Chain A
Amino acid sequence: MVHVVYRARNHGIRSGHPYSELIRGNAPQDIAQEVIKRVFSGARPWDPERGELLPYLKLQADGILDALFDSAAARHESHSPGAPNGGDDDEHTRRNDMIANASTLASPPEEQIHASRVLGRLFEATGSDPGAQAILVALMDGCEPKTRFLAEELQVSREEITNRHKRLRRRALAEDGK
């Protein structure tokens, strides 16, 4: 259940749409209950030899959520591009390159504007939290978005990366008003 809420709120950060809109009238409880019913009834049979039940339930929930997110994305495709805020340091220079690339790539303009706004605020907000900002920079440099790779890249423990990404998420949600 909390997995459904957590992922829907994460997707809200990505897309800029409120999570309640993303899951389109389905309460998180409804989605979680649907997963439980599907798995327990044998409609989506769980094989204990292939893994534990909880990750399997999460996987099933992900399938439903991804379909809902795709459907929400399809509903929101139409929109006008705008110029995001820039900056004068290295990160902002690189981000400006990304913005230039955006015009030639497939992401919808609204998504680019939203991403630019959220990242701009995140970079600003993490000015006083270099550890959290280091994650953003490492991802920008092409590090895989996995705790273990970031821990290697930044030479810190996985727990430290987890704590930093939790701080980043809190800020992202706060910045985005979710």
Chain B
Amino acid sequence: MKDTPKTEAALLGRLVDLFDEEGPTTTDEIDAELRAAGIDPVELRASTDVVVEAAAKASPYHWRNRATQERAAAEREFSQSSVPMKAPRNEIVAEIRKILGRLPALGSAPLVQVHCRNFEKSTDEDLASLLAELRFLEARQRGPDGSR
């Protein structure tokens, strides 16, 4: 059974609901709507561009801001979670090789390339730091639940 409007106000309300469903779509319709409200479309576009640009630059959604935030968060997480391995040098090297075997993509990182080119020239501290970073990156790739 259809729900008929009981009053004229209800009928007018439904008509306006229909109007609300689909607004102006073409540039001509949009400009006409704005002009009818006393707004100059050209001026409006210029001022809106400024507002949108400023809001976008300051926005956490902006890639540049997001990259900075993500890097800061990663650094914080790294400094809190990673403890350089205190182990014999050969065990550290073996562990580095194991991780690179599991995740070869990590081998393209500049720091890895520098140290892996010649493990013998790296100090124990450098290798321990490298291992800590690789473990951190591997854990991040796995995600919080350990899956890849």
Contacts and interface: CB of A to CB of B under 8 A. Distances in A.
B4 A142 contact: yes
Contact of A14 (B4, B16, B24): B16
Contacts of B33: 2, 5-6, 9
B87 to A, nearest CB: 43
A155 to B, nearest CB: 17
Contacts of B6: 98, 101-102, 105
Contact of B39 (A5, A11, A136): A5
B19 A165 contact: yes
B7 A36 contact: no
B39 A145 contact: no
Interface residues on A, range: 35 or more
B8 A112 contact: yes
Contacts of B5: 98, 139-140, 142
Chain B's interface size range is: 35 or more
A68 interface: no
Given A3-B23, A115-B7, A145-B21, A13 B55 contact: no
A1 B7 contact: no
Interface of B: 2-24, 30, 33-34, 36-37, 39, 44, 47-48, 51-52, 55-56, 58-61
